[in-house]
Amino acid sequence: MAEGISKPSLNDYMAGAMLANGFIWIWSMMMGHIPLLYRAPITILANASYLIYLVAGFTSSYLVCLRADRRHLIVGLKTALLSWLLSILFMLSFSPKPDWGFSTALLICLIMGSVAGAYLALKRRIGRRGSGHPSEG
C-alpha cells in the first residue's frame, strides 16, 4: 500500500452508522410523539420516512467518504451496510420480531443515499485536487 493514502478506520464507520441511526431514531420518535403527525396522510408520512432514510445514508456516507482517498463507493456501501446492521440490532432490542419489510426498505434507502454521498465526496475530492495545481500560461 502506498504511503500517505488515507482510509476510514472502524471508528469512522461506526460513527457513520451511529449518525445514520440517529436520523432514523429521531424520525421514529417524532412519529410517535408529535400529535400533528397523527393527522397526516399515511402516504405523506411514508414518503417523508423514505426521504429521511435517504438523507441518513447520504450524510453518514458523505462524511465517512471524506476520510478516504480512494474507493469511495466501497466505503459508502460499507457505511450503509453497517448502518443497516446497527438499525437491525436496535430493532431487535425493542421488539422480538423485526419488521422485514421495513428493514428491506431501510436497506435500499441507505444504499441509495450512501451511493449518492460517496459520489459527492469523490466529486469534491476531484474538484479539490484539480484546483490545487497552478494554472499554465
Tell whether 114 is covered by a domain.
yes
Tell whether 5 is covered by a domain.
no
Tell whether 81 is covered by a domain.
yes
Q: Is 86 helix (H, G, I), strand (E, B) or coil?
A: helix
Tell whether 35 is covered by a domain.
yes
Tell whether 136 is covered by a domain.
no
Confidence band of 16 (pLDDT split at 50, 70, 90) = very high
Q: Is the pLDDT of residue 63 over 90?
A: yes
Tell whether 39 is covered by a domain.
yes
User: Rounded CA gap, 110 and 79, in Å?
Assistant: 9
Tell whether 95 is covered by a domain.
yes
pTM over 0.85? The answer is: no
Burial per residue of 32-64, b for 16 or more beta-carbon CB atoms within 10 angstroms, e otherwise: eeeeeeeeeeeeeeeeebbebbbbbbbbbbbbb
Tell whether 135 is covered by a domain.
no
Mean pLDDT of 74-85: 94
Q: Domain count for the chain, please give it.
A: 1
The residue segments making up the domain with residue 88 are 10-130
